[in-house]
Amino acid sequence: MDKFLIKGGNALHGRVAISGAKNSALPCLAATLLSSGTVTLHNVPYVRDLITQRRLLEDLGAQTLTPDVHTHRITASNIENFEAPYELVKTMRASVLALGPLLGRFGKAKVSLPGGCAIGTRPIDLHLRAFEELGAEVSLESGDVVARAPRGRLVGSEMEFEKVTVTGTENVMMAAVLAEGRSVIRNAACEPEIPDLADLLIKMGAKIEGAGTPNITIDGVEELGDAEHWIIADRIETGTFAVAAAITGGELEIANCRPDHIGAVIDKLRDAGVEIEEEDKTTLRVKRSSGGLKASDVTTEPYPEFPTDMQAQYMALMTQAEGTCDITETIFENRFMHASELIRMGASIEIHGNKATVSGAVKLKGAPVLASDLRASASLVLAGLCAGGETMIDRVYHIDRGYETIVRKLGALGANIERIKEQITESSSA
């Protein structure tokens, strides 16, 4: 497994361009399964999860073309396989997003129960219950979810999610666009990835209103066709680079981003002593304020509140802030695995249930650390950038799942970071 070697202490300076949003591109790729024509997606980030998602589409029988690494042209007119295999699903939870489109268009689907980041149990019961609301029969057979529409086509229905779920909302939206009649989804997720997916589906011919609000109305249509769509900028990558500027005491121009999608992150970073200037609608200028970083409590909540996907990076930043603050995680259990690694680097963090109390500022010291999930890896990279000495981060395949060319992007800003490729020996390859 590859590792990152970081020699900390360099302040980052310069301009970085944000990639397309992984969490938008994943459902949009899955949505191409709904089209009888060809769908072209631009600004798809070149990250491992998207390569896996494309492989899944190919496995199901879709034809894929990638004229360049950020453009995917998918034709799913000849789907003959309705099963997503465990080998693909185990590496990426988002493969579960194939369920909605397959069920919606073909009335049948079989997908292994998903893997992905080890952050709590992460069930998909809410997805399955919503499919049942649309008339599907759902069963679990030897680790696979098997779903079918008994009449061949799903039937529109009103439903309410008991808990906000992002991929659950996306999955049921994709299932409902070809259902017979009207569906209403209440307590839908409002994350920007939802209206982005809805925009694509509408371009394909779907009738959707209210995406981006808690109530989404969908009128089923008979068929969906060609479309061309640009994926929105990745709000979590944007937030991660904003923290990188602040934690290293540098100054970054963050381009190709959507400041309007990270209002809660910008507000929180400002509270914590980060200067953020909106140069224009797609560019932020970020640096630490002259007064320094100050501890500021945060609680993760569904959008538009502070995202759980920025919690680990914010914790790294708070190790460098004066004072004590509480970071409360309300979305996922067991999402503090980065804390023990930050403690190994000298951070003062106490965990009580879903609350982490961070006291700072401390001088972090480089150490060998282990990445446990995607955003935890980002927090360790950030900690390594400001720590004294060398930090070796193991299991960086997690970060490769979601951050495009992160070594190159950080290196161009002045970071001393390199990827150490795994040496394959007879014993390690066995």
User: Rounded distance, CA 65 to CA 112, Å?
Assistant: 26
CB of 212 to ligand UD1, least distance (A): 15
Restricted to residues 308-367, the positions that interact with ligand UD1 (CB under 6 A) are 308-309, 331-332
In the stretch 212-251, what mask flags binding to ligand UD1 with x, by CB under 6 A? ----------------------------------------
Q: Of residues 126, 198, 231, 262, which one binds ligand UD1 by CB under 6 A? A: 126
C-alpha pair distances (Å), 379 with each of 25, 256, 274: 23, 22, 17
Nearer to ligand UD1, 98 or 364 (CB): 98
Closer to ligand UD1 by CB, 193 or 341: give it.
Answer: 193
Catalytic residues: 117
> Shortest Cβ distance from residue 83 to ligand UD1 (Å)?
21
CB nearer to ligand UD1: give 193 or 253.
193
| Residue 125 in the binding site for ligand UD1 (CB under 6 A) | yes
φ, ψ of residue 204 in degrees (nearest 5): -75, -10
Task: List, in sequence order, every residue forming a beta bridge with 418; answer none if it has no partner.
Answer: 5
Q: Which helix (H) or strand (E) holds 370?
A: strand 368-370
Give the one residue of 20, 101, 156, 168 binding ligand UD1; rule: CB under 6 A: 168
Give min distance, CB of 18 to ligand UD1, in A: 16
Half-sphere exposure of 362 (CA within 13 A, CB side): 20
What does the block give as tokens for 404? 């495009």
Radius of gyration of the chain (CA): 22
Only one residue has tokens 């193991």, namely: 394
26 contacts ligand UD1 (rule: CB under 6 A): yes
Size of the site for ligand UD1 (CB under 6 A): 22
Nearest to 95 by CA among 133, 55, 139: 55
Structure-block tokens of residue 154 = 């799903």
Which helix H or strand E contains 252, and what residues bound it?
strand 251-255
54 binds ligand UD1 (CB under 6 A): no
Q: Which residues bind ligand UD1 (CB under 6 A)?
A: 23, 26, 93-94, 120, 122-127, 163, 165-168, 193, 307-309, 331-332
